[in-house]
Structure 1
């Protein structure tokens, strides 16, 4: 089948990184879908970059964004699900700041617009998010078991969140100051997360961004994660996200079926209207990145994209971009 050119959109390497050891082959597979820009995710290794960088230098692929911590680091303390910028221990937090600056340096070198940042979380002594999701799936959000455990989670989260927010803000302030001094021309997008104990909620994101007003920090709105947290009851996803539209640095485009994320919008859920709530956000976002799981087939990706851009065009009264091999 023919794939349309998707010049305004980027595509995350999370889709096919598990299938490739060679970075250039991974990028070529994404290019075959019609994408000329990619987001390099946190599993991209230095070895992969050896074959990706020549493609960047020759202008064969553009980099929209990189995902902290970049390149891949095996230490779980600085992985995607950790306290990161909110560590109480000053040495560990300093290391997290250094790694975010490293991500920014790569982003600047590659001409990317943004760094996607997981700021941190309120830690628990067990995986309370997994427990809540199991109860949600088997008994429902309104069940007594869910409500009891949810209340326990919220009590600890709210009791500790202020301290973590302040440390995250301090870390980001330090990062932005050093980034500006080094001449990095990138923005930092704090991402909505997929676990209920992780930060930020949309209200927390507003607090952080407002507190750092003037710094190159905004919201990286992960649509699927927002949908999950809305369903679980953490925040009013649709209304709060749209209210922050002016603060959005970039978006991760994917849909959630129940509490399973990274599916192609419209195609896998079969819901032809629910995802429309996010079209204004996507249209306005400076960086638009599909972040899809490996199970999403190329034909589904193409169909989903065509539906999405057609809907946006109809809402804006504009025309759908001319496609490769099209009219």
Structure 2
């Protein structure tokens, strides 16, 4: 056991994947932080896996989760910011389904518990969400300019979202049936997203999970993304989660500065209380993954984890 052993907590390769071309070196760097398990994110390539898979087989590292689409697919139609499981085009939708089943096959092979899923989005141009973010920074959330633009956006989103949510339900049902037929014992976590046009809101997550009751589908609660959507006004990231606590598959642990995400909780914000509201979600999640940006240093990661563990201790966690 290493001095800085992080126990059950896992760590996403998004932190250092841009610094490495060889998978083994990337995983070793994470292991040296004290993490026994990793989340293999959607930028991990098949070439990287040639040196990662022997590490998994030798028991040098465990895999908590893989992030669809996995391994990396360069086609933006099936990237992290696309319609994906909500495609109306049947050929594209079936391709998205097969890619997700493929991700589940990798997860099962590696002994991972879950697949992180970006379900899709309402196809509103990215320029709209960028304009909203700029108004949020420049004018503030309560300003007339922001409120007017936001109300216009919400009306447009609500007019379009239902059809895409129903397609996502249909697609996930097919994915789960195929995964069951293949004997894949993994859960699918639909992730809270970082842009307001993306699906799901917490209400949409509840609709999807309820429609697929009995299937291995729940919510992947990305705390930083949820904070951002709360700040913009899309949903109540704490209050609306109360009805989803039994459906948490996993969490991404990171904090935000304004609308900038993937920072170390408590350390970068220097707010020792704000993130406490998200500790109940972390406690309930079976899979707990730090998803931090490359700017976070090892010392900051260690400090953040130590602070988090002190916060979790009263509930019997982090020992």
- Shorter-chain TM-score bucket reads over 0.9
Indicate the residue corresponding to 1:312 in structure 2. Answer: 312
Q: What SS class does the counterpart of residue 4 from structure 2 fall into?
A: coil
In structure 1, what is the Cα distance between the partners aligned to 2:189 and 2:254? 17
Indicate the residue corresponding to 1:119 in structure 2. Answer: 119
> Residues 221-240 of structure 1 correspond to what in structure 2 (within 5 A)?
221-240=221-240
Indicate the residue corresponding to 1:176 in structure 2. Answer: 176
Q: Normalising by the residue count of structure 1, what TM-score does the alignment of the two structures yield?
A: 0.96
CA contact (8 A) 1:242 1:281 kept: no
Alpha-carbon spacing, 1:319–1:284, altered in 2? closer, same or farther (3 Å): closer
In structure 2, what is the Cα distance between the partners aligned to 1:126 and 1:108? 34
Deviation at 1:320, TM superposition (A): 4.8
CA distances 1:28-73 after superposition (whole Å, capped 9, x unpaired): 0000000000000000000000000000000000000000000001
Indicate the residue corresponding to 2:152 in structure 1. Answer: 152
Indicate the residue corresponding to 1:198 in structure 2. Answer: 198
Question: Are 2:14 and 1:11 aligned?
Answer: no
In structure 1, what is the Cα distance between the partners aligned to 2:25 and 2:279? 32
Q: What SS class does the counterpart of residue 155 from structure 1 fall into?
A: helix
Deviation at 1:126, TM superposition (A): 4.7
The worse-fitting range, judged by mean Cα deviation, of 242-251 and 14-23 is: 242-251
Indicate the residue corresponding to 1:186 in structure 2. Answer: 186
Deviation at 1:319, TM superposition (A): 7.0
CA distances 1:80-114 after superposition (whole Å, capped 9, x unpaired): 00000000100000000010011000000000000
Structure 1 runs (4+) deviating above 4 angstroms are none
Q: Normalising by the residue count of structure 2, what TM-score does the alignment of the two structures yield?
A: 0.98
> Residues 55-74 of structure 1 correspond to what in structure 2 (within 5 A)?
55-74=55-74
CA contact (8 A) 2:309 2:317 kept: no
CA contact (8 A) 2:283 2:317 kept: no
CA contact (8 A) 2:84 2:120 kept: yes
> Residues 88-103 of structure 1 correspond to what in structure 2 (within 5 A)?
88-103=88-103
CA distances 1:95-154 after superposition (whole Å, capped 9, x unpaired): 000100110000000000000000000012452111100110111111222112111211
Question: Are 2:240 and 1:260 aligned?
Answer: no
- Structure 2: runs of 5 or more not aligned: none
Indicate the residue corresponding to 2:85 in structure 1. Answer: 85
Q: What SS class does the counterpart of residue 188 from structure 2 fall into?
A: strand
Indicate the residue corresponding to 1:302 in structure 2. Answer: 302
Q: CA RMSD in A?
A: 1.0
Aligned residues: 318
CA contact (8 A) 1:3 1:33 kept: no
> Residues 27-42 of structure 1 correspond to what in structure 2 (within 5 A)?
27-42=27-42
Question: Are 2:251 and 1:277 aligned?
Answer: no
In structure 2, what is the Cα distance between the partners aligned to 1:146 and 1:32? 45
Question: Are 2:66 and 1:47 aligned?
Answer: no
CA distances 1:248-276 after superposition (whole Å, capped 9, x unpaired): 00000000111000000000001100100
In structure 2, what is the Cα distance between the partners aligned to 1:319 and 1:213? 29
Question: Are 2:251 and 1:251 aligned?
Answer: yes
Question: Are 2:93 and 1:104 aligned?
Answer: no
